[in-house]
Amino acid sequence: MSEALSSRITVGRVDYRRGHEWTHREGSPVAENVGRRGSTWFYRVDLPPGPDGRRRQKRESGPHLGRLRLAQITASTVQQLYGRLRASGGRGGRALSGTQTRNVHRVLHNMLAYAVRMGYLVVNPTDSVEKPADDTAERPVNTPEQAQQFLWSTTEDRLRALWHLVLVTGLRRAELAGLRWRDLNLEAHPPTLTVRSTRTMARQVIVETDPKTRAGRRVLVLDRGTVGMLQRHRAEMEEERAVRGEAALSEYVFVSEMGQPLNPAGITRRLHVLQAACGLPLITFMSCGTRRPRWP
């Protein structure tokens, strides 16, 4: 593992670089502790810097299991871990929700499954535990009337094409931030939008990656109203480019007034400002819905 990556994989007092606690002979993989195996697994699957999975495993399961050797991890140990997480596993000792604990279970299960495939374990102890219940509350969504009201309120916003795409296509924040002009084929029959990349925030750093799943890599067919909206948006971006004195248009569809790609967190902040301005509930991109209201 590179020193740059290894130096980041620490949990409190658990240093993953010092994970060589052998109980049998030198190099016996079954004696390797969970902290060491966790860092190796994350390295081998080549996750980008600071994804949710790595942060979750480091912050929540690491302090409880990081010093245990793989052979010491049992279903009972894991079940006790989930109980401690539910009681006081969050930052500052706060309780974790069932959904958060279930996410930890997914990461830990995949890590130990890798250990089984590599011959470090015979069975995966997480296969026998009672999985934490998913207790996520139902998300509020826009009604058709609220979606229409939101679109009317953004008619003068320079990013009104972005808000239109949110409601019409259901694109996520990271997909909108990573959308490039090459992903749009507005002259095709039918016109299409291809989701090829995402821009996310990880530890205050912008990370660009491919969509997480095969379903995330998709092609959307656009209606005529959306095509017209994007064409007008491009013309406006060309005008802004000329004012800035830049030779070429940015490769990103949505940029700041300075021509820089949008910060994903900034998109959410702007969304909430617009929602508050027109008296709508502050809901996330995932909850905005994929309505097809008429554009004013």
Percent of the chain surpassing pLDDT 90: 32
Task: Give the pLDDT confidence score for residue 33 in this predicted structure.
Answer: 53
Q: What is the pLDDT of residues 31-51, one digit of tens each?
A: 455 555 555 554 444 444 444
How would you label 24-43 residue by residue, b for 16+ Cβ within 10 Å and e otherwise?
eeeeebbbbbbbbbbbbbbe
> What pLDDT score does 228 carry?
96
Residue 165: the pLDDT is 93
Rounded to 10 degrees, the C-alpha dihedral 94/97/103/105 comes to: 80
What is the residue type of 201?
A: M
Longest dimension (CA), the chain: 73
Q: Is 47 exposed, middle or buried (0-12, 13-18, 19+ CB in 10 A)?
A: middle
Nearest-angstrom CA–CA distance, 207 and 285: 19
Pair of tokens at residue 10: 């620490």
Residue 59, phi then psi, degrees to nearest 5:
-75, -35
3-class SS of residue 75: helix
Residue 235, SS3 per DSSP:
helix
Q: Domain residues of the chain, as ranges?
A: 3-128, 144-287
pLDDT tens digit string along 1-15? Answer: 333 333 232 222 333
Mean pLDDT for the chain overall = 76
Residue 189 is classified by DSSP as S
pLDDT at 212: 65
DSSP one-letter string for 25-46: STT-GGG-BHHHHHHHHHHHTT
pTM of structure? 0.62
pLDDT at 22: 27
- Which comes out higher in pLDDT, residue 63 or 136? 136
Asked whether the predicted pLDDT for residue 54 surpasses 70, the reply is no
CATH architecture of 144-287: Orthogonal Bundle (1.10)
Is the bond preceding 190 in cis, omega lying within 30 degrees of 0?
A: yes
CATH top-level class for 3-128?
Answer: mainly alpha
- Tell me the pLDDT band of 112, cut-offs 50, 70 and 90: confident
pLDDT in tens, 230-241: 999 999 999 999
For the segment 99-111, what is each residue's pLDDT rounded down to a tens digit?
888 888 888 888 8
Residue burial 194-212, b: 16+ Cβ < 10 Å; e: rest? ebbbbbbbbeeeebeeebe
Sign (positive or negative) of CA dihedral 255, 256, 261, 267: negative
